[in-house]
């Protein structure tokens, strides 16, 4: 049995993918030496102004230490989930006399590998064994000043990468290559935003204003400048078409519908078909619908097909119409994910 809890609520903190500096518990700690005050939230020597603390309990000291560290990481990842759920990047593309806006949720990017990372600077300060239950308690602490110093170092590295990516964007002449560096700039800006948010939590007074200059504006302009043609082909579905347009929009690209891709930069061809699927259970009241889609993405200038993929969905509902609608929605999500990944991968390799 393992139980963990935070001594107090902690806002977002620093995660690091590098090797952890955590010390493993040196021993079981004193037995029957009296219940330490830090178990109940009074960690003497580790004031809230200078430290973040977490307590873990388990059947062995190593697991108790891991649990204590995870309590800090758990609150961090929870806060990040909440934050990214409402954080979006607005892309405005002005072309052919009209302006369209798209909103991109970046929860997946910001949450990647959270569960596998450890907090830099977290240490197991104390351990104690309850003689009556035989369970072990561990106190994990994170010094705010130490964490802030590490964040500042990462911010300097991020700013260097941002300047270099911006330089490459400005010097690129071909539109697809500019789009490659534009995506790079936006990715780095997201990293930078997260670093600033963590630094403000640790010490708001020490964080400078997050100046972006023209970085974001230039990147958005480069992406919006691409001419992307969408041909839905046979079996048209408004739900699927909307999902495709949204997927491209989250990359900052505006898609226009056209059969011919002449003069475009990227063409997106997507054909779909749906069919009713009999339920193998004769007594079942469920209605099933299956959707299939073929996706072809092409670099129009070179004629190179950089994605040729097929996806499918199978959904059930109490009515045929409901099953069809669910199948369209599920298929649209899968197609959107394929297109986003395909376009991003293509541009990264230019």
The per-residue pLDDT for 122 is: 87
**49 secondary structure, DSSP code:** T
With cut-offs at 50, 70 and 90, classify the pLDDT of residue 75: low
Q: How far is CA 162 from CA 18, 166, 214, 215, 350, in A?
A: 21, 6, 11, 8, 19
The per-residue pLDDT for 212 is: 81
pLDDT in tens, 224-243: 999 999 999 877 799 999 99
The per-residue pLDDT for 83 is: 42
The per-residue pLDDT for 230 is: 96
pLDDT in tens, 194-213: 888 778 777 878 777 767 87
3-state secondary structure 171-213: HCCCHHHHHHHHHHHHHHHHHHHHHHHHHHHHCHHHCCCCCCC
- Checking if the pLDDT of 8 tops 80, the result is no
- Checking if the pLDDT of 290 tops 80, the result is yes
- 35 in Cβ contact with 89 (< 8 Å): no
The per-residue pLDDT for 77 is: 53
What is the rounded distance in angstroms from the CA atom of residue 231 to the CA atom of residue 226? 16
User: What average pLDDT does range 44-60 have in this prediction?
Assistant: 89
- 251 in Cβ contact with 223 (< 8 Å): yes
Residue % of the chain over a pLDDT of 70: 77
Residue % of the chain over a pLDDT of 90: 54
Q: Encoding tokens for residue 69?
A: 């560290």
E strand spans, 59-214: 88-95, 98-105, 122-129, 136-143
- Checking if the pLDDT of 334 tops 50, the result is yes
Q: Which has more confidence, 7 or 111?
A: 7
The per-residue pLDDT for 91 is: 36
The per-residue pLDDT for 112 is: 32
The per-residue pLDDT for 323 is: 96
pLDDT in tens, 249-279: 999 999 999 888 899 999 999 999 999 999 8
The per-residue pLDDT for 121 is: 81
Taking every pair of Cα atoms in the chain, the longest distance, rounded to a whole number of angstroms, is: 80
The per-residue pLDDT for 76 is: 55
- Checking if the pLDDT of 301 tops 90, the result is yes
User: What average pLDDT does range 146-170 have in this prediction?
Assistant: 93
Candidate ranges 67-71, 106-110, 124-128, 192-196; pick with highest mean pLDDT: 124-128
The per-residue pLDDT for 198 is: 76
pLDDT in tens, 162-194: 999 999 999 999 999 999 999 999 999 998 988
The per-residue pLDDT for 235 is: 75
Average model confidence (pLDDT) for the chain?
80
- Checking if the pLDDT of 244 tops 70, the result is yes
């Amino acid at each position: 049995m393992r139980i963990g809890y935070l001594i107090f609520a902690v806002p977002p903190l620093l995660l690091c993918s590098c090797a952890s500096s955590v010390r493993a518990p040196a021993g079981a700690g004193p037995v029957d030496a009296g219940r330490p005050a830090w178990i109940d939230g009074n960690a003497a020597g580790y004031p809230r102004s200078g430290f973040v603390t977490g307590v873990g309990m388990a059947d062995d000291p190593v697991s108790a230490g891991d649990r204590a560290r995870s309590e800090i990481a758990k609150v961090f990842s929870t806060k990040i989930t909440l934050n990214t759920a409402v954080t979006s990047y607005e892309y405005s593309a002005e072309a052919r006399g009209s302006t369209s806006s798209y909103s991109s949720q970046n929860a997946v990017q910001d949450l990647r590998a959270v569960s596998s990372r450890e907090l830099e600077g977290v240490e197991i300060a104390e351990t104690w064994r309850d003689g009556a239950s035989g369970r072990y308690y561990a106190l994990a602490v994170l010094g705010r000043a130490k964490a802030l110093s590490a964040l500042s170092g990462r911010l300097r590295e991020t700013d260097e990468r941002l300047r270099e990516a911006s330089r490459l964007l400005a010097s690129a002449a071909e539109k697809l290559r500019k789009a490659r560096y534009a995506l790079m700039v936006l990715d780095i800006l997201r990293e930078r935003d997260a670093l600033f948010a963590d630094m403000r939590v640790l010490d708001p007074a020490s964080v400078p204003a997050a100046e972006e200059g023209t970085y974001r504006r230039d990147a958005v302009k480069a992406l919006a400048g691409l001419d992307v043609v969408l041909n839905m082909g046979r079996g048209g579905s408004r739900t699927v078409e909307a999902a495709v347009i949204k997927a491209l929009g989250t990359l900052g690209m505006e898609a226009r519908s056209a059969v011919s891709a002449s003069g475009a930069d990227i063409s997106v061809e997507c054909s779909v078909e749906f069919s009713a699927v009999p339920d193998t259970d004769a007594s079942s009241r469920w209605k099933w619908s299956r959707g299939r889609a073929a996706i072809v993405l092409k670099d129009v200038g070179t004629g190179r097909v950089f994605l040729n993929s097929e996806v499918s969905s199978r959904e059930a509902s109490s009515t045929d119409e409901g099953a069809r609608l669910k199948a369209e929605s599920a298929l649209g999500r899968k197609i959107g994910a394929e297109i986003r990944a395909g376009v991003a991968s293509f541009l990264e390799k230019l």
